[in-house]
Structure 1
Amino acid sequence: MAGYGAPECGFDLVFQPPLPVSTRIAIVSKGTGKELLSAIVYDEGMIMQSGNAAAEEPVSLFGVPSVPAPQEPFSERGVAIAGNNLILFDISDLVYYIGHHDNLTGIQRVQSCILLAMLRHGIYDRRRLLFLSYNNHRGHFIHISVEFMSALLEDLLRPARDRRIAYSREDAKVGLLPQSAPLHQSFGALAGQSAVLCLLGAAWVNRDYFRRVVELKRVLDLRFAMVVHDLIPIYARETCDQGTARVFTSFLKRALRNTDLFFAVSQNTARDLQRYAEEIGVTAPPVIVTQNGSTFDEFIAAGAPPSPLFMERIRKPFTLFVSTIEGRKNHIFVFRVWQELVKAGVDVPDLVCVGRLGWRAEQFLSKLTETNNLQRRIHILKDVSDEELDWLYKNCLFTVYPSLYEGWGLPVGESLAKGKLCVTSRTSSLPEVGGDCAVYIDPNDTGSAIPVLRRLITDAAWREGLEHKVVTSYQPVSWRTVAERVITGCLEAGRKPRTSIFPTIDCGQEYCFGALPDALSDRLGEEMMAQILETRRARLTSAYLSDAAFLAAEEFRIGESWCEPESWGVWSRYPDAGLGFLLPQEAQGGVQACLLLNVPDPLRGMSFHIEEDGEILAAGYLNSEEVFVTFRMQPRHDAEGRVLPSRLMVRTRHDPAKQAELRAIDARGIGLGFKRFLVNRFDDVLGRLEVMERLSMRALEKPAG
């Protein structure tokens, strides 16, 4: 009915208890007797496949080709960029966002504009594009029909009253959209193809995001590219939520280990990224600067003007400030300037602030309350439609944007693209956006800003001359240009030589499976030092652990049977879990491996074993809360003498009753917990003895508490 593709339906089938593996289910039309789909049960779920698909030409539910498709432009409005790579866009954060919000803003608006420009202009063959979202309910990626996603993106940029595409907000909150299927259904079709996974949005809220990326790299041999929108949580940390600063810092450390190519939205952000890589002692991958588009309405058809009621609310003349109302955007600065101008007798225009309330806005909001919105001269508008924002830009006297720090600065470009002068800061990336068409001020010095703004308000000839320069000189950046740079960068990433997707283990280095300790401490002085020592103290050696000892351990985990790391370690999911790594050249004579496990109560007394390629390396019983296992390993080689990855499986016996008991104490269905791991060369007798000695001494320590 919405005109975006053939009618389809989908649903979950849940069987209790789960059906045996390899059970075949046929979905049949009751009216005609025709078989519509067949299903093959695997583990606790099923793979849906078309009953008519040829076995020798595997396809997914949405027709992912098993061989490179011919390169044809999708649209006559643009020429497709040639390339045989599959490009997979992880849009999980966009899906979660539309589950919670009606209108796109910020990073979600940016990635929507890039993707829509890509699809509208046929920049890349859409048959070589996949949109992915992470199903938080099932713990795996799904891929979404390109046709549906294209229609949904168009729809989301319309006013809410005109939208036609239906989806469940509750499903979107866990990453689900209509016309989607589990990505692993298409692994057979995708295997062997050159592929790039691209992240345009924000994934740092997911502490275990790069486990997913690394796992896809192992399964599909793809490269990974991502956009860095800013490094505000690192280099302007005082202006943002400290929780965000913590998770973002950890995220970026992981990104620098696992990203093949970065996109940065500005030269300033690219410099910040390189600076941070140098500070933590790593080499940053190549960076391509994409910039951001200068328009917010590039994809919006001309619609009806705002309602008369809206226009009557806005007194002319007025100045416009478009931004989330938060400390970093510096609304309090403009308030003080306006307040001083009023005291000086200047007839100031009203100040219209458009944006939702954010973090650290309390000083500005308190001043508004104390002064009755500066005697009704300052107004806050939330949930403004594109038509209303367009009207505000066109009818304002000029715009202000005195932000303290930005990755780009969308409102500056939007203002100039509308032919309106913008007063902004000469900091971070903002001069890149405004060029020589913006008016610059010091965002920390109201004294120097007051005469500039006073003249703009009172000297119409000067203001109009500056505005004429904007109209005649400003060169806006189109979203199509940004999308072309993204596609070109993805193809460049696809040509990068493959690097190992398994970390190389260092003999004698203890690895911790726990979460990387926060870079920020909530303690002071001696307490802070004690916290740092405790979180980085080794258990099996006398050393203290570096970031790499935590980050590499995260990358040891293979498969989907893992929960997120916690402070002590990480839970696997019952009944087994896998570890993968490369042994170093110095380990040719063999190694002694040590693994420290945490055992939940329901698994006490059960047997377990560790195997590699079907060979049992260790076996025993889980007789205590903490179990230490030691076993020998030999490196394995391919026909050309190269070291092959060591893949260990740690298994316990599958027991449905135990599984139910484990789910009762933790809904994630936890299994064994993994704490520490270490290997020593077999001929390193002193290193092996140190481990035994450390464990013996810990057994004599007084229990905590």
Structure 2
Amino acid sequence: MPFLPLSSSPQPRVWFDVEDLFEYARTGSRPSGIQRVAFEIQSAMQALPEMQGTCVGFLRHTTDGRGFTPVKPESVRALHDRLCSHALSVTTHIETGNESEQEASSARRLARHLPASLRVPLGQLVSHQSAAFRDVSALLRATGTTLRQTWTERHTAQEANIAPPRAGDILLALGAPWSHTAYGTLLERARDQGMRTGLLVHDLVPLIAPEWCRPGLPRVFRRWCESTLPAIDRLFAVSHSTRDDIARLFPGKAASVIRMGTGFSTPRSITGHTDLPLSLRAPFVLVVGTIEVRKNHALLFRLWRKLLADHPRATIPRLVMAGSPGWLASDLMQQIRNCNFLNGHIALVHAPSDALLEALYRHALFTLVPSLHEGWGLPVTESLAHGTPCLIANRGALPEAGGRLTPLFDPDNLHDVQACVERVIHAPAELARLRSRIATTFQPTPWSVAAQQLLSAFH
């Protein structure tokens, strides 16, 4: 798409590449932290006094992947709100391991009378068939969604009647554009037309610890970085930790740190507070995030098993995991189910809605973030914003997110994390002290800070 000559207006237009948001929505039902961060900065940029009017625009990729086409801001907001509101119409799935004999299906009760030589392979067959059916169903839904969205998006772009980018404008990629394998070439074309480019790096996990990723991803991600970073005029990082990772892995590439905001906007369709389900109203400790090996839920599983062995069960709160299983989590989930969720002392809340997640933060005794590495630490600042104490691993950017308000532990040392948790569980005065310190000290950061920092970097 050819760009127009440099505008006579002294104010360049800022364009956000939102292709990754639309791609994510084809199969994702809930936005990840990356999509939320990008949307919050985009919204904050639009609200800046100096950016009122038509100074902010949104771009998607053309169907051949070789250029950009404008998309209406209303389409971006509607898609974000739909993703955030999706779970409101679906009954939240909560696993606690308290299934009774009466609740078991007839087929399962019948299978128990079969010899193990038949029962075990039969169970595996049913499990694999169920997984295959879910995958086929997801594929069909994604195919239909893709076809509908492609048709709609082509017509929407034609009817948008939005002036295209001009030389001197700014193009920002704040989300997850690495699914576009030739993204560097795409940005080079934009630069050849006079645009200035910026990229926000959330983390470099596939390069830092490839063992935490799916096979093949580290190689693909490295190739993407090596071809894309040279096409970037301004490189940004979500934390000092990520900035240092960039400098170490890509010598000569300097990134500016953008301060992350606190909390996320609530879609207009979500109003009021949500009460906790009855199954979650006992005292509990909360961990938020996708269940994957990097998030280190396995440490908490071992910890809770040891706490229950070392102390009377009635004195140990339940561990609530708010998130769905992700990368390399099948072994851990099998262990948790094999022990009946530690006989009900662990609960798994699949894909909680924003309203339910807010209620979980409000009612938790405290939260835990045991990740082995994070580019930032959104669950840390979310917990503090709700006034809830948060205990965190001393790795990556987590201490940076928590400041001096979060007790630290070594995520490789079970005894260290146990001592840290026991100091809070068995000392109500310590828990009250942490809450009081958060209430008097924690200062939320508006997303306008990040938007202004991005804008200032190009001035």
Give the TM-score normalised by structure 1: 0.53
- Describe the SS at the equivalent of 2:454: helix
The match for 2:219 is: 246
Aligned counterpart for 1:321 among listed residues 287, 293, 304: 287
| 1:409-449 CA distance string (max 9 Å, x none) | 11011001111111111111111100000011000000111
Aligned counterpart for 2:46 among listed residues 111, 114, 119: 119
Equivalent residues of 1:99, 1:171 under 8 A apart: no
- Which residue identity does 1:293 align to in structure 2? G
Distance 2:334 2:85 in 1: 35
- What is the CA-CA distance between 1:85 and the residue it aligns to? 1.4
Q: State yes or no: 1:372 paired with 2:340.
A: yes
The match for 1:181 is: 157
Distance 1:179 1:398 in 2: 49
Identity over the aligned pairs, expressed in percent?
Answer: 30
Equivalent residues of 1:116, 1:154 under 8 A apart: no
- Which residue identity does 1:484 align to in structure 2? Q
Distance 2:244 2:6 in 1: 40
- What is the CA-CA distance between 1:306 and the residue it aligns to? 2.4
The match for 2:401 is: 433
Aligned counterpart for 2:410 among listed residues 442, 453, 469: 442
The match for 1:236 is: 209
CA 1:300–1:351 in 2, change beyond 3 Å: closer, same or farther?
A: farther
- What is the CA-CA distance between 1:231 and the residue it aligns to? 1.0
The match for 2:7 is: 67
Aligned counterpart for 1:412 among listed residues 380, 385, 389: 380
Aligned counterpart for 2:188 among listed residues 210, 214, 237: 214
Distance 2:13 2:376 in 1: 29
Map 1:185-204; keep pairs closer than 5 Å: 190-191=165-166, 193-204=167-178
Aligned counterpart for 2:198 among listed residues 225, 250, 271: 225
Q: State yes or no: 1:332 paired with 2:298.
A: yes
- Describe the SS at the equivalent of 1:340: helix
- Describe the SS at the equivalent of 2:157: strand
Distance 1:148 1:297 in 2: 17
Equivalent residues of 1:321, 1:399 under 8 A apart: yes
Equivalent residues of 2:319, 2:345 under 8 A apart: yes
Distance 1:198 1:316 in 2: 45
Point out which structure has higher relative CO (alpha carbons under 8 A, 6+ apart).
Answer: 2
Map 1:75-474; keep pairs closer than 5 Å: 84-122=11-49, 124-136=51-63, 140-150=67-77, 152-153=79-80, 156-158=83-85, 169-171=145-147, 177=153, 180-181=156-157, 190-191=165-166, 193-218=167-192, 220-278=193-251, 283-284=252-253, 286-297=254-265, 303-306=271-274, 310-346=276-312, 347-474=315-442
Distance 2:146 2:295 in 1: 32
Map 1:509-524; keep pairs closer than 5 Å: none
- What is the CA-CA distance between 1:386 and the residue it aligns to? 1.0
Equivalent residues of 1:263, 1:290 under 8 A apart: yes
- Which residue identity does 1:233 align to in structure 2? P
- Which residue identity does 1:295 align to in structure 2? G
Equivalent residues of 2:84, 2:353 under 8 A apart: no
CA 1:353–1:161 in 2, change beyond 3 Å: closer, same or farther?
A: closer
Gaps of 5+ in 2: 90-143
- Describe the SS at the equivalent of 1:390: helix
CA 1:326–1:361 in 2, change beyond 3 Å: closer, same or farther?
A: same
Rg comparison, structure with higher value: 1
Distance 1:115 1:221 in 2: 22
Equivalent residues of 2:286, 2:367 under 8 A apart: yes
Distance 2:82 2:8 in 1: 30
Distance 2:151 2:434 in 1: 47
Distance 2:176 2:62 in 1: 16
Q: State yes or no: 1:487 paired with 2:455.
A: yes
- What is the CA-CA distance between 1:105 and the residue it aligns to? 1.6
Equivalent residues of 1:88, 1:129 under 8 A apart: yes
Out of 398-407 and 173-182, give the one that drifted further.
Answer: 173-182
- What is the CA-CA distance between 1:244 and the residue it aligns to? 1.9
The match for 2:120 is: none
- What is the CA-CA distance between 1:93 and the residue it aligns to? 0.4
Distance 1:160 1:363 in 2: 27
- What is the CA-CA distance between 1:230 and the residue it aligns to? 0.5
- Which residue identity does 1:339 align to in structure 2? R
- What is the CA-CA distance between 1:86 and the residue it aligns to? 1.9
- What is the CA-CA distance between 1:460 and the residue it aligns to? 0.4
- Describe the SS at the equivalent of 1:227: strand
- What is the CA-CA distance between 1:123 and the residue it aligns to? 5.6
Give the TM-score normalised by structure 2: 0.80
Structure having the higher helix fraction is 2
| 1:649-687 CA distance string (max 9 Å, x none) | xxxxxxxxxxxxxxxxxxxxxxxxxxxxxxxxxxxxxxx
Equivalent residues of 2:87, 2:351 under 8 A apart: no
- Describe the SS at the equivalent of 1:242: coil
- What is the CA-CA distance between 1:470 and the residue it aligns to? 1.3
- What is the CA-CA distance between 1:153 and the residue it aligns to? 4.1
- What is the CA-CA distance between 1:112 and the residue it aligns to? 1.3
CA 1:160–1:327 in 2, change beyond 3 Å: closer, same or farther?
A: closer
| 1:259-290 CA distance string (max 9 Å, x none) | 11111000010011111122xxxx21x42211
Gaps of 5+ in 1: 1-46, 48-57, 70-82, 163-167, 493-705
- What is the CA-CA distance between 1:102 and the residue it aligns to? 2.8
CA 1:239–1:293 in 2, change beyond 3 Å: closer, same or farther?
A: same
Distance 1:419 1:337 in 2: 24
Distance 2:359 2:154 in 1: 35
CA 1:395–1:190 in 2, change beyond 3 Å: closer, same or farther?
A: closer
- What is the CA-CA distance between 1:126 and the residue it aligns to? 4.2
What is the aligned residue count? 403
- Which residue identity does 1:181 align to in structure 2? A
Map 1:569-580; keep pairs closer than 5 Å: none
Q: Cα RMSD over matched residues?
A: 3.0
| 1:596-622 CA distance string (max 9 Å, x none) | xxxxxxxxxxxxxxxxxxxxxxxxxxx
| 1:479-506 CA distance string (max 9 Å, x none) | 22222222223x24xxxxxxxxxxxxxx
Distance 1:65 1:169 in 2: 37
Structure having the higher strand fraction is 1
- What is the CA-CA distance between 1:303 and the residue it aligns to? 1.5
CA 1:331–1:390 in 2, change beyond 3 Å: closer, same or farther?
A: same
- Which residue identity does 1:208 align to in structure 2? A
- What is the CA-CA distance between 1:97 and the residue it aligns to? 1.1
- What is the CA-CA distance between 1:128 and the residue it aligns to? 2.2
| 1:500-535 CA distance string (max 9 Å, x none) | xxxxxxxxxxxxxxxxxxxxxxxxxxxxxxxxxxxx
The match for 1:508 is: none
| 1:453-475 CA distance string (max 9 Å, x none) | 11211110111101211111112
Distance 2:65 2:232 in 1: 26
Distance 2:335 2:52 in 1: 53
- Which residue identity does 2:304 align to in structure 1? W
The match for 2:94 is: none
Map 1:649-688; keep pairs closer than 5 Å: none
- Describe the SS at the equivalent of 2:177: coil
Equivalent residues of 2:40, 2:265 under 8 A apart: no
- Describe the SS at the equivalent of 2:365: coil
